[in-house]
Structure 1
Amino acid sequence: MLTVGDQFPDFDLMACVSLEKGKEFERIDAEWLKLNREKKGWLVVFAWPKDFTFVCPTEIAAFGKLNEEFADRDAQVLGFSGDSEFVHHAWRKDHDDLRDLPFPMMADSKHELMRDLGIEGEDGFAKRAVFIVDQNNEIQFSMVTAGSVGRNPKEVLRVLDALQTDELCPCNWTKGEDTLDPVKLLAGE
């Protein structure tokens, strides 16, 4: 699995971006990222195993509810699984919590992105992974959980806040709290 310090791989995927007729699908590629990253320098990319399951929609909806907070921190949220954009569309239409998602649901139908990231499971499905990628396309945070355990998008937001301070942040640090000053710590202050 790619981790901190690795470059996030290039990708070119179709995505379900809306339920509005004629505006359902969009290609998410290097050009799209360039245009969107001029506004938002950071990426938060997360993968879920498959659509029409039980844990996955709870996470997707939770990322959706925090989308504005990620945007306020200049971060673009992108989600994906190995399902097609048409399956994503059907799931969004079928699931109340997914209808108005504010970020693209990308379709990694050929499993290229999940393989490049090293998160394709032995069962052929994406592992439950999340990556925070900086303006230089370098991964600054990566995490994967067991398929039965949902992630905490608020923790991903907290880590993004900490990364954006470019300072030392203690355990459980939250935005607005003091960061660590090594000079003062070494002086015993």
Structure 2
Amino acid sequence: MSRILSISQPFPRFSVPAVVSLEQGKEFITLNNDSIKGKWSVFFFWPLDFTFVCPTEIAEFNKAIKQFHDRDCELYGASTDSQYVHLAWRKHHEDLKNLEIAMLADNKKELSEALGILHPVEKVPFRATFIVDPEGIIRWVSVNDLSVGRNVKEVIRVLDALQTDELCPCNWEKGQATLN
């Protein structure tokens, strides 16, 4: 298994199709490093479409999208399924029909491989989350095993802490004092 990219490393070069709409003729765009330049980004990967834990996470990130946008941060969800599988899943899963999150289709597995997040046997992404700063540098990484969903509130808490550019103690939350 390759090593997981970590903090202070540049987010890998990528160019992938993404599902951004259910409107016919406007379903797909291509996203790449230029798409994320100059703003905070959160990339969260899930193992497979049409599974059980994954839609709970995607729906929870979508519920929190305003909180991310209020922090000048874009959300990007990804798996190694194709954009066509993503579109079918969105059309047929009630919790995914009104997504405001781009669903990246890393079906060539190039981005997942570059990030080092493919399960060594299953060859699907772990539940990995990356916070990337406006310069394209990874500032936070969290990786869960295939069966364990992540905590969206914790992603927001860490984003808040990173954006203070100050020392934040254990369990720090936005509005609390930072360390001098």
TM-score (norm 2): 0.95
Partner of 2:166: 167
Contact 2:62 2:99 in 1 (8 A): yes
Secondary structure at the aligned position of 1:27 is classed as strand
Partner of 1:180: 179
Output the CA distance in 1 between the equivalents of 2:45 and 2:177.
32
User: 1:21 Cα deviation (Å)?
Assistant: 1.1
Task: Return the match for 1:15 from 12, 15, 18.
Answer: 18
Contact 2:36 2:134 in 1 (8 A): no
Partner of 2:30: 27
Secondary structure at the aligned position of 2:42 is classed as strand
Q: Do residues 75 (structure 1) and 66 (structure 2) align?
A: no
Identity rate of aligned residues, in percent? 54
Aligned residues: 176
User: 1:32 Cα deviation (Å)?
Assistant: 3.0
CA-based RMSD: 0.9
Partner of 1:96: 94
> What letter is aligned with 2:145?
A
> What letter is aligned with 1:155?
E
Q: Do residues 141 (structure 1) and 140 (structure 2) align?
A: yes
For residues 43-83 of structure 1, the C-alpha deviation after alignment (integer angstroms, 9 at most, x for no partner) is 10010000000000000111111111111101111010000
For residues 81-117 of structure 1, the C-alpha deviation after alignment (integer angstroms, 9 at most, x for no partner) is 0000000000001111111111100000000000000
Partner of 1:185: none
Q: Do residues 42 (structure 1) and 40 (structure 2) align?
A: yes
Output the CA distance in 1 between the equivalents of 2:170 and 2:97.
36
Structure ID, larger Rg: 1
Q: Which one has the bigger helix percentage?
A: 1
Q: Pairwise mapping of residues 57-136 of structure 1 onto structure 2 (< 5 A)?
A: 57-122=55-120, 123-136=122-135
Output the CA distance in 1 between the equivalents of 2:33 and 2:167.
32
**Structure 1 unaligned residues grouped into runs of 5+:** 182-189
TM-score (norm 1): 0.91
State the 4+ residue runs in structure 1 displaced beyond 2 angstroms.
30-34
For residues 135-167 of structure 1, the C-alpha deviation after alignment (integer angstroms, 9 at most, x for no partner) is 111111001011111001110000000000111
Output the CA distance in 1 between the equivalents of 2:17 and 2:135.
23
Secondary structure at the aligned position of 1:177 is classed as coil
**Structure 2 unaligned residues grouped into runs of 5+:** none
Output the CA distance in 1 between the equivalents of 2:26 and 2:70.
25
